Structure 1
Amino acid sequence: MNEKNFEYLKDQIKFTGFGQDLEAALKANLAKAQNEFRLSHTAQHGKDELSSSLHFKKSAQSDMYFFNSYDAALKKENAEQAIKQTFYINRQAGNITQKEAYNLLDGRAVNKDLISKEGALYNAWVQLDFKDTAQNGNYKFKQFSEKYGFDLEKSVAKLPIKELSDVNEKTRVLESLGKGNRQAVTFQQNVNEQRVFLEANPQFKTVTVYDQNNRRLTIDGLRQSEREGASQKQNEKKDAKQQQKADSDQTAPKTRKGKKVSV
């Protein structure tokens, strides 16, 4: 067995998001010196399950093996059928990690550095098109490059997100959204705080917001709620002042008026 090849593949598996649990199985399969083999991996994401089959093939010119691709199947809770896709491994850039594969199969977009056909590096959002498949059965990718005009940071800045006031928290939120995660944040409206979830939506150049019951919230609705909250707060202050004045009038001593006496 080629030890350097084992170390390389071990790290490649790890950094593609499959952890270290496959190391023993990888070593055992490399020792068999077969032309190709597969390793199986299962991950839980909340109540969803992502099953992956990693493909390895031996070089025709040497004893080196290559991690070429993996088949991913997402089984949603209560879903009858799994959603499937094959993700290919590029040794330069653009590899989809296991968690990113889950996010893509769950319908979200992921921001990646990609390699063009001419070999140039570029950045784009990618998202699976569930209405269009290739001949191999894979869903085709929709791409939204920087020229498309979606700016994640500007879109997030339009929302009353508490975490944006802290530089480190802001960076964490943006990086998480870039990986395709549904990110929990705190909306701060006047004195009220609300836990919500964000998803990057590059196709429509916006950020989608959900409440804790998975109901989609609109920006206009959030602004209306904020205005209503501010109006309610003003009314409460006004009522408090009126009540304070009334209490003051009731407790103040009354001055008696005497009769004028002529001398």
Structure 2
Amino acid sequence: MNEKNVEYLGKQLFYTGMEDIPQESLVRNIQEGKPGFVMELIKENISGEAKGIPYFRQSDKGNYFFNNFDMVTTPKGLDPIIQSYWVRKAEPIIVKDANGVPVKDEHGNEQKEWINNTITYAQAANLGFGRAINKTYVKVNKEDPSKNEKYNTWQVLDFKNPDANGKYPLKNISGYDIDKVLTEYNFKELATEKGVKDFSDSLKRGNCQSATYVHPDGAVKKLYVEAHPLSKTSLKIYDANMVRINLSMKRPKIKEGQELVPDQQQNQVEIKDNKVKESLTPPPKEKTVRAKTKRGKSPA
């Protein structure tokens, strides 16, 4: 058995967020010498089940390659959604200072930053559950890699426009500054600089983040929030039972010399009786993890 091949595949699984697949299962499949095999990684949370299915193929020289995986998300009470993702190699960019001058290390070599262009297991799961992710990619210059450029975008699955194979295209969304949006909300978790960063990073990964709303009178309310880049300026907010809250819970904007009257204060946190229940989205904590392997042919 080619141990370097096993090590390489293990690294690929790690960078796609599927390192929980047992290595002994991977080794056993390789030792059997099959032309191709699939494995499974299943995780569950209150949204439902997320199942990653990596496909492995054997080359003519006997090495195995992991080039793509399926993500099957099954929201509770709804039909499964199947999406396919390519495993792409990391690409480098030259690190530059504020003036655009390449930064060099102590040996005089230009410093490089490697960007993971692959959508990971967790990102794919969050997309499948209808949430947005924030992803950095590299625009590759094939003629001169030193001119590679990175760019950042919010992405969602476009469920309204499936392709001929029933898969949903990724839709890029620009103009959504999550850090600026968070300044308009009075969540307890945003009281410190570190708290703001952790909260922002969680939303960028596509998580449904728990939050504690602080009422002007000091009362607190447990909530869940998601990034909402389509709105450009707000968050999706749910109560403790994952029911969508439709009223704005932003800090009230007060003009100079104007005071907020009690009725206006109350209106900031009042929840409508006719709540609209949307597709379930989970808090980030996962309940169980189990890994399976099964024999099967990889897709053409």
TM-score (norm 1): 0.77
CA distance in 1 between counterparts of 2:262 and 2:9 reads 57
Identity, in percent, stands at 30
Q: How does 1:111-260 map to 2 (within 5 A)?
A: 111-116=134-139, 120-144=149-173, 148-190=174-216, 191-205=218-232, 206-218=234-246, 220=248, 228=262
Query: What value does the CA root-mean-square deviation take over the aligned residues?
Result: 2.4
CA distance in 2 between counterparts of 1:200 and 1:150 reads 9
Higher RCO, 1 vs 2 (CA within 8 Å, ≥6 residues apart): 2
Relative to structure 1, is the Cα distance of residues 67 and 230 closer, same or farther in structure 2, using a 3 angstrom cutoff? same
Which residue number in structure 2 is paired with residue 37 of structure 1? 37
Q: Deviations over 1:114-133 (max 9, x none)?
A: 23475642111111001112
1:74 paired with 2:73, answer yes
Which residue number in structure 2 is paired with residue 252 of structure 1? none
Relative to structure 1, is the Cα distance of residues 221 and 227 closer, same or farther in structure 2, using a 3 angstrom cutoff? farther
Relative to structure 1, is the Cα distance of residues 199 and 227 closer, same or farther in structure 2, using a 3 angstrom cutoff? farther
Q: Secondary structure at the match of 1:132?
A: coil
Read off the aligned partner of 1:91 and give its amino acid letter.
K
Following TM superposition, by how much is the alpha carbon of 1:151 offset from its aligned partner in structure 2, in angstroms? 0.2
Contact 2:10 / 2:19 at 8 angstroms: preserved in 1?
no
Q: Secondary structure at the match of 1:17?
A: coil
CA distance in 1 between counterparts of 2:140 and 2:167 reads 20
Which residue number in structure 2 is paired with residue 86 of structure 1? 84
Contact 2:184 / 2:251 at 8 angstroms: preserved in 1?
no
Q: Secondary structure at the match of 1:130?
A: coil
Read off the aligned partner of 2:26 and give its amino acid letter.
L
CA distance in 1 between counterparts of 2:5 and 2:224 reads 42
Relative to structure 1, is the Cα distance of residues 31 and 198 closer, same or farther in structure 2, using a 3 angstrom cutoff? same
- The structure 1 segments of at least 4 consecutive aligned residues displaced by more than 6 Å after TM superposition are 229-232
Following TM superposition, by how much is the alpha carbon of 1:165 offset from its aligned partner in structure 2, in angstroms? 1.4
Q: Deviations over 1:23-80 (max 9, x none)?
A: 12211122233332211222112351122221112234x433221111121122222x
Q: Of the candidates 93, 105, 108, which is equivalent to residue 128 of structure 2?
A: 105
CA distance in 1 between counterparts of 2:128 and 2:201 reads 19
Contact 2:20 / 2:41 at 8 angstroms: preserved in 1?
no
Q: Tell me which structure has the larger Cα radius of gyration.
A: 1
CA distance in 2 between counterparts of 1:34 and 1:227 reads 72
Which residue number in structure 1 is paired with residue 293 of structure 2? none
Contact 1:68 / 1:89 at 8 angstroms: preserved in 2?
yes
Contact 1:17 / 1:97 at 8 angstroms: preserved in 2?
yes
Following TM superposition, by how much is the alpha carbon of 1:210 offset from its aligned partner in structure 2, in angstroms? 1.4
Contact 1:10 / 1:20 at 8 angstroms: preserved in 2?
no
Q: Say which structure is richer in helix.
A: 1
CA distance in 1 between counterparts of 2:170 and 2:129 reads 14
Which residue number in structure 1 is paired with residue 25 of structure 2? 25
Read off the aligned partner of 1:216 and give its amino acid letter.
R
1:96 paired with 2:119, answer yes
Indicate the larger mover: 195-204 or 6-15: 6-15
Unaligned 5+ runs, structure 2:
91-115, 142-147, 253-259, 267-300
Aligned residues: 226
TM-score (norm 2): 0.68
Contact 1:197 / 1:210 at 8 angstroms: preserved in 2?
yes
Relative to structure 1, is the Cα distance of residues 210 and 161 closer, same or farther in structure 2, using a 3 angstrom cutoff? same
Relative to structure 1, is the Cα distance of residues 228 and 217 closer, same or farther in structure 2, using a 3 angstrom cutoff? farther
Unaligned 5+ runs, structure 1:
233-263
